[in-house]
A and B are shown apart, each in its own frame.
Chain A
């Protein structure tokens, strides 16, 4: 085994992850290797330092309100879903009525009718395209490892 491998064992030793056999192997090696003994001492110093740190605690209020916040977000999202469904139905119904009125209005010139219908048609195409893209993005595996 090379020094590099023993150094990884030293790291795992302080993490309490060595088997009894690996431990004995490492201890035996340390008796004869000054370089790895120095590494062992430095690793010990580092581990002692790390043991004195902990992550800072947010205020207790954060934890108290945690569930309520999740509950509220779930509830609110349900509200948004119903609202969106209602808005889409109203929008399509309104568009349908508008188109119907434009087509059957003899006072409007043909060019204006075509312009309005084209405008509305474009809006529908864009809306469908946007919704399809959103749906497609949701289904795709889009999470890749991000290195910072």
Chain B
């Protein structure tokens, strides 16, 4: 496998890139990794809530996917298939960890440097997202921070669209309630200085 990037055009479709990998041009896998690395990382982050673990698990998922490519049915879209691997790795990781001893809030507060009020609102939001169940947090991250449609979320999570809609609804209701408790009237203008 080559470490060089220029060998394959980054515009290659997933289908073509995977077909190339399967036919022995393993370096074409880099096209897939470059295309989905950020999405994979953020989705892992929504599960494990820790930068280093999210990075490791997302990379591990790409390695697993690479090994399983022979079994991959090319008539399916790559990312939903890959996401199942990633999700399983994250769930297995959490099961082995028994509990998540870190929080999205810590991660956010480390990375962001906004004005004080804005930071406080941000922390309240992430603390609220942190408190959601795994399933609810997953759909919130997919919807708001990855901009997936209900149809896409349904494909990624194997939920019926109706369940996606209701899960999102209840997750939003909880977030609104917890934000109100933590922040009162959470108008965005209030957070801006």
Contact = CB atoms under 8 A, between A and B. Distances in A.
A54 interface: yes
B41 interface: yes
B180 to A, nearest CB: 9
Interface string A48-80: 111111111110001100111111011101000
A107 interface: no
Nearest to A7: B169
A101 to B, nearest CB: 41
A53 B135 contact: no
A82 interface: no
Interface in A72-127: 73-75, 77
A67 B143 contact: no
B3 A71 contact: yes
Q: Which label, helix, strand, loop or mixed, suits the secondary structure of the B interface?
A: helix
B92 A43 contact: no
Contacts of A67: 3, 5, 30, 33-34, 37
Given A53-B122, A147-B134, A70 B168 contact: no
B53 to A, nearest CB: 13
Interface in A13-68: 15-17, 42-43, 45-46, 48-58, 62-63, 66-68
A117 to B, nearest CB: 37
Interface residues of A, number: 41
Given A57-B111, A143-B88, A144-B91, A8 B5 contact: no
Interface of B: 1, 3, 5, 30, 33-34, 37-38, 41-42, 45, 51, 55, 59-60, 62-63, 66, 88, 91-92, 94-95, 99-100, 107-108, 111-112, 121-122, 125, 133-135, 141, 143-145, 149-150, 165-166, 168-169, 172, 175-176, 179, 186-188, 191
13 contacts: A8-B165, A8-B166, A48-B187, A49-B186, A50-B144, A58-B111, A62-B55, A67-B34, A69-B59, A70-B63, A147-B133, A147-B134, A148-B100
